[in-house]
């Protein structure tokens, strides 16, 4: 068997990466539509050269996995700070056992702030048994970490693809109210082809969500700030009534301030029950999660744990 290696993505890999993505998402996609997957700097921030388009898994010369980076620079306390955020994560189904290796670059960032999660938490996941387990079975492994659609009070909310983020300190609620259009449609699972038009946009939300689903797993994993998990996420999980069917990781960007976090996290968890198709899981296998128990009551949200 050829040795599987991980290396920084280069321009000669782009066609194969496109092919890997298009095999499961958009057969009509091209460079103009997808170039933001490989390198993107926020329009409101100055360009800088120390960027990488991401990392690939190679079986010989064949690209079998890709983890994209979104690069940005933000002013924190009057000083420019470089950030790197996880973007598209695609792994060929025959190489699932190697998929978590694509997280390693995030744990090795020295001069970048990583809004994916804390380094220590990444290391804990990478050194655990998850690194060698077979995460899923036969379908494509696609993580829309930076996504632009979620459900709000039973309505699908989509961000306009032409939005340009401007003020780094602008509150998320204002962005939602000003820049979203509400599409009234029945709650349902989107196919990967449909989801492509909702997910891959040349911007990222001010909070990141990463979830993985395996019906037979009985653990819930969280990667991020432990204080936020204890105070805000655990109570919401309890209200969701999720038992032994799902495990997922929620990554809260560290540049969010505490008053904004509860609202953002609740919106994330509101949407995850409708997005299983993105990971190739058969909705019939998880129909128990499509019950009234999975609807968060925003009128009486769970109280934070003091």
**What is the chain's mean pLDDT, rounded?**
44
Reading phi first (left if > 0) and then psi (alpha if -120 to 50, else beta), residue 154 is in left
Average pLDDT over residues 69-94: 63
pLDDT for residue 124 is more than 50: no
Average pLDDT over residues 247-260: 30
- Ranking 2-6, 159-163, 193-197, 223-227 by mean pLDDT, the lowest is 159-163
pLDDT for residue 281 is more than 60: no
Give the model confidence (pLDDT) of 290-302 as tens digits.
232 333 333 333 3
Confidence band (pLDDT; 50, 70, 90) for 108? Answer: low
pLDDT for residue 197 is more than 70: no
Confidence band (pLDDT; 50, 70, 90) for 105? Answer: confident
Residue environment code for 250-276, b if the CB has 16+ CB neighbours within 10 A, otherwise e: bbbbeebeeeebbbbbbbbbbbbbbbb
pLDDT for residue 19 is more than 60: yes
Domains of the chain: 4-143 (3.40.630.30), 149-294 (no CATH)
Q: CA-to-CA distance for 65 and 293, rounded, in angstroms?
A: 36
Query: Cα dihedral sign for 186, 187, 191, 193?
Result: positive
pTM more than 0.85: no
List beta partners, residue 69.
Answer: 86
pLDDT for residue 58 is more than 80: yes
Q: What is the pLDDT of residue 54?
A: 79
Average pLDDT over residues 153-178: 29
Check: CB of residue 247 under 8 Å from CB of residue 217.
yes
Cβ neighbours, 10 Å, residue 229: 17
Q: What is the 3-state secondary structure (H, E, C) of the chain?
A: CCCEEEEECCHHHHHHHHHHHHCCCCCCCCHHHHHHHCCCCCCCCCCCCCCCCEEEEEECCEEEEEEEEEEEEEEECCEEEEEEEEEEEEECHHHHHHHHHHHHHHHCCCCCEECCCCHHHHHHHHCCHHHHCCCCCCCCEEECCCCCEEEECCEEEEECCCCCCCCCCCCHHHHHHHHEEEECCCCCCCCHHHHHHHHCCCCCCCCEEECCCCCCCCCCCCCCCHHHHHHHHHHHHHHHCCCCCCCCEEECCCCCCCCCHHHHHHHHHHHHHHCHHHHCCCHHHHHHHCCHHHCCCCCCCCCCCC
Q: What is the pLDDT of residue 22?
A: 60
- Select, from the ranges 46-50, 99-103, 222-226, 245-249, the one with the highest average predicted confidence (pLDDT): 99-103
């Amino acid at each position: 068997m050829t040795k599987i290696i991980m290396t920084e993505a280069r321009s000669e890999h782009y066609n194969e990466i496109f092919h890997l993505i298009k095999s499961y998402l958009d057969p009509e996609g091209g460079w103009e539509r997808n170039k933001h997957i490989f390198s993107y700097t926020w329009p409101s921030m100055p360009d800088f050269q120390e960027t990488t388009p991401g990392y690939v898994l190679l079986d010989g010369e064949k690209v079998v996995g890709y983890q994209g980076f979104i690069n940005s620079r933000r002013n924190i306390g009057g000083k420019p700070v470089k950030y790197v955020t996880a973007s598209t994560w695609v792994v060929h189904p025959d190489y699932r056992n190697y998929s978590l290796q694509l997280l390693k670059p995030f744990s090795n960032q020295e001069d970048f702030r990583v809004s994916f999660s804390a380094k220590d938490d990444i290391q804990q996941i990478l050194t655990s048994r998850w690194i060698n387990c077979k995460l899923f079975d036969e379908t494509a492994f696609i993580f829309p970490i930076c996504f632009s659609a979620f459900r709000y009070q039973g309505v699908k909310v989509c961000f306009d693809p032409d939005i340009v983020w401007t003020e780094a300190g602008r509150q998320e609620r204002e962005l939602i109210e000003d820049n979203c259009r509400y599409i009234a449609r029945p709650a349902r699972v989107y196919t990967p082809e449909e989801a492509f038009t909702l997910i891959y946009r040349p911007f990222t939300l001010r909070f990141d969500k990463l979830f993985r689903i395996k019906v037979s797993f009985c653990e819930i994993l969280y990667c991020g700030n432990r204080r936020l998990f204890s105070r805000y996420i655990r109570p919401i999980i309890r209200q969701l009534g999720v038992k032994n069917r799902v495990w997922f990781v929620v990554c809260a960007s560290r540049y969010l301030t505490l008053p904004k976090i509860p609202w953002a996290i609740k919106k994330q968890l509101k949407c995850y029950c409708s997005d299983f198709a993105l990971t190739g899981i058969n909705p019939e296998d998880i129909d128990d999660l499509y019950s009234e128990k999975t609807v968060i009551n925003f009128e009486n949200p769970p109280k934070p744990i003091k």
